[in-house]
Amino acid sequence: QLQLQESGPRLVKPSETLSLTCTVSGGSISTNNAFWGWIRQPPGKGLEWIGTIHYSGGTDYRPSLQSRVTLSVDTSRNQFSLTVNSVTAADTAVYFCARLSRVSTADYWGQGTLVIVS
Does 105 participate in binding other proteins (rule CB under 8 A)?
yes
CA 37 to chain centre: 5
Does 104 participate in binding other proteins (rule CB under 8 A)?
yes
The candidate with the shortest Cα–Cα distance to 101, out of 49, 4, 26, 32, is 32
Question: Considering the complex, what minimum distance in angstroms separates the CB of residue 19 from other proteins?
Answer: 20
Nearer residue to other proteins within complex by CB, 15 or 104: 104
CA dihedral 22, 84, 10, 99 (to 10 degrees): -20
Q: Determine the Cα–Cα distance for residues 111 and 78; give it in Å rounded to an integer.
A: 17
A 10 A CB-CB count for 3 gives: 13
Interface residue with other proteins among 10, 46, 56, 118 (CB under 8 A) is 46
Residues near other proteins (CB under 8 A), total = 21
Does 62 participate in binding other proteins (rule CB under 8 A)?
yes
Helix (H, G, I), strand (E, B) or coil at 89: helix
Beta carbons of 115 and 10 less than 8 angstroms apart: yes
Does 112 participate in binding other proteins (rule CB under 8 A)?
yes
Nearer residue to other proteins within complex by CB, 15 or 25: 25
Judged by CB under 8 A, the chain residues 72 through 101 that form the site for other proteins are 96, 101
Provide the binding-site residues for other proteins, judged by CB under 8 A. 46-49, 52, 60, 62-64, 96, 101-107, 109-112
